[in-house]
Amino acid sequence: MKSTERKFQFLTREDPDTGARVTRLTPPDVTCHRNYFYQKCFTNDGTQLMFGGEFGPQPSPNWNLHLLDLPSQTAIQLTDGARENTFGAFMSPDDRFVYFVRGDRNLIRLELATLKEEVVYVVPDGWVGYGTWVSNTACTKMVGIEIAAADWFPLNTWQKFNEMFHKKPLCRLFSVDLATGERSVILEQRGWLGHPQYRPFDDNTVAYCHEGPHDLIDARMWFINEDGTNRRCGKEHLNGESCTHEFWVPDGSAMIYVSYNDKSPERWISSLDPVTLENKVLTAMPQCSHLMSNFDGTLIVGDGCGKASSGDNEMLVGDPYLHLFDLKTGTTRAIARHDSGWDVYKDSRQVTHPHPSFTPDEKQVLFSCDKERANGVEPALYLADL
């Protein structure tokens, strides 16, 4: 239950291919996962880590939030409600609060010192809160996506993901004031919207995407002013091109994304300027799904995968490594194996995805995956030393 403390026993091994130290943080008998890769999960000093885990009390599948103290290897359970969006949860910049959506309806602010919960915003009747909501840099506002309830169904398989695209649901991109709970609709349209993100240090600029199977989207990345004006396409896809998993460099300098062509085995790390809309190819890379950078975008980590399937977003096994891209030196190297099976597991399309990102000191990479399931170990969180 909430407030329960659990003593973990970390397990450190040497990666068989690279020699890197890789530490499993979570217990072998409990399914655990990290939050979405561009959401804050570490305290600023790097000593505590927020994660999602299936410790109960609700029956499986059900995720609740926990805070792991790395020096003592002790975790405290933060929530015990049903249907927590643990993938979209994040810590506030001052380490005081965790924000998450419960039951597709209620945006919760949880105070870490007391575990007191406060409902900040309630999705109106007739709508469903979808996906990952993201705050501005000051954590005074948040952008999110709501889908009309008449168009909504659970997206617990890749086939359902595909069906949602073809349904063209009525969606709205909105912002909410975290002090007052007041909502402002930025954009409403028929067509699946996702991945809303304030530009860091620029509350006027909001990014969002046209969601769906990569090869069926002709222009994924879009920008709009917070007041709903100046909607602009970030990039029209070239013939056969797909663009995926865009994120803001944390200093706000650019948006970075994955680009690939169905006729080429290579993938590319590219950047996009939200003002000039200039696109730049930064470097070629192995087939990676998710990328995340350090604060100024000089280091990038990616999770290797297989060739994307056609007509949906189902992930295929291929490249089993986490990769480090140093844009200053122009070098690339494998960090360690993640060996994700990329499977849908316990009604989740995300729980086996590595979603790597850097620790605050940039000395390790956090990821979660199911690399040890063949040995009876549930999906877990890992730290790989750089």
Q: How confident is the model at residue 313 (pLDDT cuts 50, 70, 90)?
A: low
What pLDDT is recorded for position 215? 86
Question: Average pLDDT of 259-271?
Answer: 88
pLDDT at residue 314 above 70? no
Query: What is the C-alpha to C-alpha distance for residues 196 and 63, in angstroms, rounded to an integer?
Result: 23
Share of the chain above pLDDT 90, in %: 88
Output the pLDDT for position 310. 57
Q: Report which of 333, 268, 348, 273 is spatially closest to residue 299, judged by C-alpha positions.
A: 333
276 within 8 A of 319, measured Cβ to Cβ: no
Q: Report the pLDDT value the prediction gives residue 154, as an integer from 0 to 100.
A: 85
In this predicted model, what pLDDT tens digit does every residue of 183-225 receive, in sequence order?
999 999 999 999 999 999 999 999 999 999 888 899 999 999 9
Half-sphere exposure of 213 (CA within 13 A, CB side): 20
- Average pLDDT value for residue range 15-20: 98
Average pLDDT value for the chain: 95
Distances from the Cα of 380 to the Cαs of 164, 303, 350, 370, in angstroms? 29, 16, 12, 7
- pLDDT tens digits for 61-84? 899 999 999 999 999 999 999 999
Confidence of residue 57 (pLDDT cuts 50, 70, 90): confident
Return the H-helix or E-strand segment holding 186.
strand 183-190
In this predicted structure, the answer to whether residue 265 has a pLDDT above a threshold of 80 is: no
Task: Report residue 302's pLDDT band, with 50, 70 and 90 as the boundaries.
Answer: very high
User: How would residue 326 be classed by pLDDT, with cut points 50, 70 and 90?
Assistant: very high
What does the pLDDT read at residue 309? 57
Per residue in 154-171, pLDDT (tens digit) is 888 888 989 999 999 999
What's phi and psi for 149, nearest 5 deg? -60, -30
Alpha-carbon distance of 225 to 211, in angstroms, equals 19
303-319 average pLDDT score? 72
pLDDT for 82-118, tens place per residue?
999 999 999 999 999 999 999 999 999 999 999 999 9
- What is the reported pTM? 0.95
pLDDT one-digit tens code per residue, 122-148: 999 999 999 999 999 999 999 999 999
